[in-house]
Amino acid sequence: MKTPSAKPRKWSAAADRAREELLRPCPYLGYNHDRIGVHCLAKDALAIAENSFRRAIWLNPYEPRFVLHLAHALFRLKRYQEALEALDELDFKWAEFKQGDELRATIISVTRGSSGRKD
């Protein structure tokens, strides 16, 4: 006698989001949102990139690269103070992660250059 086969489950965005909500915070989540954010950053879809990085950080607060990518998005959006705050968080939580130092120097030089400029 054959057993009835299970119906294939359809993908559901709501079910996916509910599963993420139940699993967070988790060191294995967020990488898909980060990849989407990096792609959007490359395509100049900066607001979408920012949202993707924030979602990645919310799901997985253990990955410093997500915070660095968010700082890059905020820098490209010319929200320099928020970018510096993200980099401060990066330094505070992951002191050994020095990949944000170059971005910090760039932001500081841009803000100093624009504050001394007369329009």
Both structure tokens of 8: 């294939």
pLDDT digits 0-9 by tens, 11-64:
888 888 888 888 888 889 999 999 999 999 999 999 999 999 999 999 999 999
pLDDT over 80 at 9, yes or no: no
Q: Which domains does the chain have, with CATH numbers?
A: 26-115 (1.25.40.10)
Distances, alpha carbon 34 to alpha carbons 54, 56, 119, in Å: 9, 6, 37
Per-residue model confidence (pLDDT) at position 119: 45
pLDDT digits 0-9 by tens, 61-90:
999 999 999 999 999 999 999 999 999 999
Distance CA 69, CA 54 (A): 10
Distance CA 67, CA 57 (A): 7
Q: Tokens 């990096």 identify what position?
A: 38
Residue 28's φ and ψ, nearest 5 degrees, are -105, -5
